Amino acid sequence: MKRIKLALFDLQHYEMINVLISIFSDPNFSIVFFTSKKIASKIKETSHEDLKYEFIIYEDFSSAKSFFNSCEEYILKNKVDAIHFNTIDRDYNLVWKLIKNTNIHTTTTIHNINTWLNAPFTLNKIALKNYYYRKKILSKSKAIVVTEELFISYIRDKKLYTKDILTLPYTIKSKDINHKINKQLRIAIPGAIDGNNRRNYKFALSVIEKINHLNPNIKFVFIGGVFSSEGEQIFQHINDLIKKGCNIEHKFNPNSNQLFENEMSICDVVFMPVKINFKYEGINEVYGKTKVTGVLYDMMRFQKPGIIPKEHVVPPTITTSLITYTNEDNLIEKILTLENNKELLENYLTYAKSNSEYYSTSSIKKRFLPKYVKLFD
């Protein structure tokens, strides 16, 4: 096959860009990134010897319009063959203009299935305008990319999209992690601490406080930045519990992924207190059915068992390494059991390591890359 010049666009999700880097680390591709300064810094921090890349960085321009004009000029001047939009959640009109003016192969990752593929039942002018441009963007896409294989059946059954659908997970397993169980159970809670109502921090902190009274040796580690006034209130609650003696830590470094990787590597279990139902631009989305949380795939990336709500639909490839709960008391009982039964915890870790192979770089590359290249036939 001829060498493909590929542009990758994302201003938000480094982890998913890292997946794309792993997939396209191939002599048949040359890459340019249309991205943010933060993501570019993290890419440069990680060595990808097989990949030659350039950057057009959003913050280097005085306006969004100038940034997109520069991307357009680069595509036309350097005869870029294709562009993959990994996250589009703003500047929809400018994205559409870029696609229309360059007329190259386009693929788009869909993070919120209903928001992108279902017409909104709303009079909200912003939501309607965004949907108008989303529809335009998808009309030019050779295919869409979803983050979970289960979503393909949902989309096809509801006849939401008729062209090709490819799958790439939110994160990828790139290396084996040899983990020794901690003397005291160590539970990681990764993700932004904010007020977007996607995580039930009130529930999680209530559970942590009650567990601390029963077994103060169990450690809970929050790994993520604090955002918005609502996030500050949640963070204050965390600090109040620390002052009361709860075994809680908070870790975050906005400029590097190394701290996150270290903490995820040394934890025993990952706790995901997600709210299943939420709204995006007033449109209903359901975790496990129309949207994924990256935490689920972080479990596979770091080969860790996970604790999740029982109602969350999960792919069959990871069910054996998941511990589900129905309510607060049920969750407390299961966490205490993990602390007291190291053999059970070891079994879950073994299942997690085995399940993670489906999400390894080689496995995903084998499933994705031939389908992507075929789009150019």
CA 251 to chain centre: 19
Is residue 364 within 8 A of residue 370, CB to CB? The reply is: no
Cα separation of 55 and 34, whole Å? 6
Return the DSSP state at 224. S
Ranges of residues in the chain with a pLDDT under 50 are: none
Strand order across the beta sheet in which 186-190 lies: 248-251, 219-223, 186-190, 269-271, 306-309, 322-325
Please give the structure tokens belonging to residue 53.
Answer: 């890349």
CB hemisphere CA count around 374 (13 angstroms)? 9
Say what the pLDDT of residue 1 is: 65
CB-count burial class (<10 Å; 0-12, 13-18, 19+) for 341: exposed
Specify the pLDDT at position 126: 80
User: What one-character DSSP code corresponds to residue 178?
Assistant: -
DSSP 8-state assignment for residue 180: P
**pLDDT at residue 45 in the model:** 77
Structure-token pair, residue 347: 């079994």
- Residue 29: which of 50, 59, 46 has the closest Cα? 50
Tens-digit pLDDT profile for residues 45-76? 775 555 567 999 999 999 999 999 999 999 99
Per-residue pLDDT reduced to its tens digit, 316-335: 999 999 999 999 999 999 99
Predicted confidence at residue 47, as pLDDT, reads 59
- Contact (Cβ atoms closer than 8 angstroms) between residue 300 and residue 359: yes
Alpha-carbon span 63 to 241, nearest angstrom: 43
> At how many degrees (to 10) do helices 294-301 and 342-355 cross?
100
Q: How far apart are CA 277 and CA 191, in angstroms?
A: 17
Looking at residue 2, its pLDDT comes to: 76
Q: What is the maximum alpha-carbon separation in the chain?
A: 65
Q: What domains lie within the chain, and their CATH numbers?
A: 4-170+361-374 (3.40.50.2000), 186-358 (3.40.50.2000)
Amino acid at 191: G
Q: What is the pTM of this model?
A: 0.88
Distances, alpha carbon 314 to alpha carbons 55, 191, 287, 309, 346, in Å: 36, 19, 9, 10, 22
Question: What is the rounded distance in angstroms from the CA atom of residue 3 to the CA atom of residue 109?
Answer: 23
Strand partners, 53: 31
* Helix axis angle, 92-102 to 64-77, nearest 10°: 20
